[in-house]
Amino acid sequence: MRFAERMNLLKTESSFVVLAKAKGLERQGRDIVHFEIGDTDFDTPSNIVEEAYAQLKAGQTHYCPSAGVLELQEACCEFFRRMGRGEYTPDEIVVGAGGKPFLYYTIMAFAGPGDEVIYPDPGFPVYESVVLYAGAKAVPLPILEEKNFRFSADDLRERVTERTRLLILNYPHNPTGGTLTRSDLEAIAGIAIENDLVVLSDEVYAHMLFEGEHVSIGTLPGMRERTIMLETFSKTYAMTGWRLGFVAAPAEIAEKLTQLITNSVSCVPPFIQLAGAKAILDDQSESRAMMEDFKRRRDFFVSGLNEIPGISCKSPDGAFYAFPNVSEVEMNAEDLADYLLDSAGVAALPGSAFGVHASRHLRMCFANSMEDLEKGLDRIAGALAKLRK
């Protein structure tokens, strides 16, 4: 069978590969602690579930506009307004099947052969994968531990060329948990404006910021007209499996993204969208409680990692990932991740799954019960103690 050559350019997402392996071990009777997948142990709040059920019964199961139902578009405008992240109108909101499709749609809309896209490395693997699939050149921007998992304006400036079309930002950052300050963003904005760059600002962890303030780059002078701001319901409302996300972008860009939705999935089911509107417009206390609990888990888990000989871990400013440095362990990170899963029943990802600048790290999602966090820490400590013997 002959596949198109471009299929060789697509990469996989390691978290799902490791999840599949871990689930296979569980089917064999093994007890596995899951730190590999970016999901939470919280269930979707009941008011959202009940709204979806009510909308199903009301017959909201047919086609709807590709850009989204008006009720959700208006709710998304309220979402950004409420958070101080910009004023938008419904025609500047596009709803999609999660956040990931918008990475594909945006890159395909702006980059092709001969173009360049700058993206964070380490970073969400889909960034590089889709850039390559589009036939463009992927230009990694190092996000390094020695810089507190940030990058400088000079780091960015030296990677911009006349062929650069798109800059991808992600903050708080997956996998490191680092973020960007207002002064960082002001410098980035200056470079974007100077070089006429479009910015895809992936802010899906904005509500999971434990330290400092979150500033959306699109609110800075001269940036609204060149920024695509990405959000999802997955993390904020524990709706990963619902596949519901949205972007705010200038109407001209929103129209192009909508065309890609029409030509791919047609629309997101309206009963899901109306449940999303309920999530935004209803009481936010459950969502806030989840975020507070993630901070408590972060403090416990990072402290525990730092007590294990051979591991050092910076406390992440946001997101629900720990990114420990394991360079003192006498095993590379890829082998160590395999060893922890096979011998200790702890599923984690090597940093190399996120790029070339993270080979000394593991990524571990701490959106887990305190019981499992403690169990995982004990297992990791025991496994590394065996290596030192």
Chunked mean pLDDT (size 10), the chain, 389 residues: 87 78 89 91 96 98 98 98 97 97 97 97 95 96 94 96 98 96 97 98 97 96 98 96 98 98 97 98 95 97 97 97 95 94 95 92 96 98 90
Residues 97 and 265: beta-carbon distance below 8 Å: yes
DSSP class of 43: P
Pairing of strands 245-248, 93-96: antiparallel
CA-based nearest residue to 75, from 238, 237, 221: 237
Residue 258, CA atoms < 13 Å, CB-side half-sphere: 19
Q: Round to whole Å and give the CA distance between 81 and 87.
A: 6
CA-based nearest residue to 322, from 177, 203, 120: 177
Q: Which residues, 6 or more positions from 58, have their beta carbon under 8 angstroms from its beta carbon?
A: none
CA-based nearest residue to 60, from 281, 268, 279: 268
Q: Round to whole Å and give the CA distance between 86 and 171.
A: 17
CA-based nearest residue to 230, from 65, 43, 104, 82: 104
DSSP state string for 80-98: HHHTTS----GGGEEEESS
Please count the residues of the chain.
Answer: 389
Q: H-helix or E-strand containing 16? A: helix 14-27
Residue 181, CA atoms < 13 Å, CB-side half-sphere: 10
Question: Looking at 305-369, which runs of residues are DSSP E strands?
Answer: 321-322, 346-347, 349-350, 362-365
- Residue 247 bridge partners (DSSP): 94, 230
Q: What is the pLDDT of residue 364?
A: 97
Residues 207 and 292: beta-carbon distance below 8 Å: no
Q: Is 201 left (phi over 0), alpha (psi -120 to 50) or beta?
A: beta
Residues 263 and 279: beta-carbon distance below 8 Å: no
In the block, tokens 């025609």 appear at: 91
Q: Round to whole Å and give the CA distance between 99 and 91.
A: 18
CA distances to 98, 223, 252, 277, 335 from 198, rounded to whole Å, are: 21, 9, 13, 28, 39
pTM: 0.95
Q: Round to whole Å and give the CA distance between 213 and 231.
A: 17
DSSP class of 314: P
Q: What is the pLDDT of residue 9?
A: 83
What is the CB neighbour count within 10 angstroms for residue 299? 13
